[in-house]
Structure 1
Amino acid sequence: MREGYLTLATGDQKYVAMAANLAASVKTMDPTRRICLVHDIAAGPAAEHARFFDDLVFLDPDPRYPHVMNKLRLFRASPYERSMFVDADCLLVKRDVDRYWDHARRLFFCITGAPQRRGEWKGVRLEEIVAARALPYIVQMNAGVFFFDKSEAAARFFAEFEDFYQKEFETLAISNYRGANSHSFELYLGIFLGMKGLASALMPNFGNESWMVSTWRAPFCRFDIASGRSEIFKLGRFLFGLPVLPTSITRLSPTFAHFIGLKPRATYERLAGEFRRRAGGCA
């Protein structure tokens, strides 16, 4: 199978229902490609959710990969030659996703993000990590959407990334993300991309050509499935680093809307219900 979407639902069963909403949005907005659910349910997902997926892959639970760190195992799990991974709390809200497939096909791995050398991220000071590891930069990103293929280059990338994670498991535990001594896939990936000098793996992501944008710190969102209209207004440039004192607002038009915490809840539930109806399921 040449191309398809991949999503992950492990641990709490609520993620399977969210993944089904994502699958329904894919069936509505890009019916030409398949979508696969990677899961850890021994008996398989319930039929009401499974019917939205073309492919199901069981991922044997492994304590070395807590929660989102299972993303490291997706290279081996994917049934597709080229995969676009999408977090379960995302929805495909525009029909222009081909432009991102076209761009990503030129690379073995692709994600949004920006090289950074200083600032705070995931509770760590980037300049300290850059200096300690002699890095050119760290890629700061939201790993809700990324692309990879099954080439030899991608196989080496994921093998080396996984080896880096296992070696750094203790030193890169952080304390402000899902509790004490937890791990952030994004922090590991950002450092690893800097180690490999892979700024070329970044997908342009701005304005009307935004592959994925989260609803975090977005005071206004508007989506219309029929017309494909997609708008998220993001706050930024906060005075004194305080989230209540923004000095800028930016309009973005994402192809994937990433509903962090499923907020705004009413918007997410309205879209999910409509996607399920259009995809032939029950809201």
Structure 2
Amino acid sequence: MTTPLSHPIRINNTHMQGYITLATGSRFYLDLAMNLVLSLKLNDPTRPVCMVTDRTMEIPEDYRKYIDQITFLDARPGFHGCLNKLRMNEVSPFAETMFVDSDCILLKNDMDRHWAKFQSPGFCSPGGKVTSGRWYGFDIAEVIKKLGIDYMRTLNSGVFYFRQGSETDHFFATALDLVENHKELLGSFHRNKLQLADEPFIGAALGKLHTPTISYSPAEGTIQITTINASSIHFDPFTRTSQITRHDDFRLLGRFFPRKHVQHSPSFAHFVKLKPKAVYQRISDQLRDHFGLPRFAA
């Protein structure tokens, strides 16, 4: 069920493209999502934004004027937090949807190129094909053998695209079936919270259906980069500055002495656990001051 606001959804060119984000549970997630909304209004103002939330969430009037549409997500047993991403096709009002996590900030005004790159008849996301190794604590080779699939895709589900239609519905139905029937293989708690992570189910569905994914080179600028294992971070959505160095291939315990240091210029900064806190807080204050909203202590 959707609840439209006073103005209609704006249409970009001849296609109805829009962003959707999830803000369920506490007011904290609403405030995060509002920062994302403001960054979208700053750097991609022609595409509308839909916020998915609980029926009990109280949304201040000064927030509502920047949200193009509000959609309520009814509770489903066993589905909390990020696992509800697997239900976004049920609630999106758009023909073409880009889901964005609430802890992301749009730093650049180059989203047209990403929308063009993501064009697909169904679900689309960056993601790498894998047949071995460990992910979310499970053995990938063992999981794909038990599921009877050729491979999985590892991904960060902070940003993904889908086009409404039968192919998208089939993809999400496949992911939900994996939740229903294969929790023992794929079920991992998200960041030590008592909620299942969505990414293993998406990754397995991508492999099961042989769904194509896209890739980016650092030189072209990826759609998103997480801020974990990173340094030399220079982000500013007003000057459209986006520079970050990610570290990888660690020699010790998966987090010490990296062998790789890669510079990126992502469009979205994905502030996992809101780190670095000082950078996120500064951007939050900038956005809220600019749009006339009270500051939020992240």
**Fold shared, TM-score > 0.5 on shorter chain:** yes
- What is the deviation of 1:274? 1.4
- Asked whether the 8 Å contact 1:135–1:195 carries over to 2, the reply is yes
Structure 1 window deviating more from structure 2 (21-30 vs 102-111): it is 102-111
- What is the deviation of 1:187? 0.7
The CA RMSD measured in Å over matched residues stands at 1.9
1:39 is aligned to 2:53: yes
- Asked whether the 8 Å contact 2:232–2:245 carries over to 1, the reply is yes
| Cα deviation code 1:160-199 (max 9, x no counterpart) | 322232222344333674257x42100111111111112x
1:172 is aligned to 2:186: yes
- What is the deviation of 1:153? 1.4
Aligned to 1:279: 291
Aligned to 1:196: 209
Amino acid across the alignment from 2:139: R
- What is the deviation of 1:125? 1.5
- Asked whether the 8 Å contact 2:21–2:52 carries over to 1, the reply is yes
- Asked whether the 8 Å contact 1:205–1:211 carries over to 2, the reply is no
What CA distance in whole angstroms lies between the structure 2 residues aligned with 1:70 and 1:249? 34
- Mark the CA change 1:43 to 1:231 in structure 2 (over 3 Å): closer, same or farther: closer
- What is the deviation of 1:11? 1.4
Alignment of 1:226-237 (within 5 A): 226-237=238-249
- What is the deviation of 1:280? 4.2
Amino acid across the alignment from 1:31: P
> Of 49, 52, 64, which residue of structure 1 is paired with 2:66?
52
- Mark the CA change 1:41 to 1:195 in structure 2 (over 3 Å): closer, same or farther: same
What CA distance in whole angstroms lies between the structure 1 residues aligned with 2:224 and 2:181? 31
Please list every run of 5 or more consecutive structure 2 residues that lacks an aligned counterpart in the other structure.
1-8, 10-15
- What is the deviation of 1:241? 4.1
- What is the deviation of 1:79? 0.8
> Of 86, 105, 108, which residue of structure 2 is paired with 1:91?
105
- Mark the CA change 1:224 to 1:120 in structure 2 (over 3 Å): closer, same or farther: same
Alignment of 1:113-124 (within 5 A): 113-124=127-138
- What is the deviation of 1:61? 1.9
- Mark the CA change 1:175 to 1:183 in structure 2 (over 3 Å): closer, same or farther: closer
Aligned to 2:254: 242
- Mark the CA change 1:124 to 1:207 in structure 2 (over 3 Å): closer, same or farther: farther
> Of 99, 116, 119, which residue of structure 2 is paired with 1:102?
116
What CA distance in whole angstroms lies between the structure 2 residues aligned with 1:172 and 1:103? 29
- Asked whether the 8 Å contact 2:132–2:140 carries over to 1, the reply is yes
Please list every run of 5 or more consecutive structure 1 residues that lacks an aligned counterpart in the other structure.
none
> Of 203, 218, 234, which residue of structure 2 is paired with 1:222?
234
Q: Alignment identity in percent?
A: 31
What CA distance in whole angstroms lies between the structure 2 residues aligned with 1:242 and 1:69? 26
Q: What is the number of equivalent residue pairs in this alignment?
A: 281
- Asked whether the 8 Å contact 1:117–1:137 carries over to 2, the reply is yes
- Mark the CA change 1:139 to 1:213 in structure 2 (over 3 Å): closer, same or farther: same
- Mark the CA change 1:276 to 1:246 in structure 2 (over 3 Å): closer, same or farther: same
Query: Taking structure 2 as the reference length, what is the TM-score of the superposition?
Result: 0.88
Query: Taking structure 1 as the reference length, what is the TM-score of the superposition?
Result: 0.92
Amino acid across the alignment from 1:165: V
Q: SS of the counterpart of 1:219? A: strand
| Cα deviation code 1:126-183 (max 9, x no counterpart) | 1221233333221111100000111221122222322232222344333674257x42
| Cα deviation code 1:92-125 (max 9, x no counterpart) | 0011111011122234211112111122211111
What CA distance in whole angstroms lies between the structure 2 residues aligned with 1:170 and 1:48? 44
> Of 200, 206, 224, which residue of structure 2 is paired with 1:187?
200
Amino acid across the alignment from 2:28: K
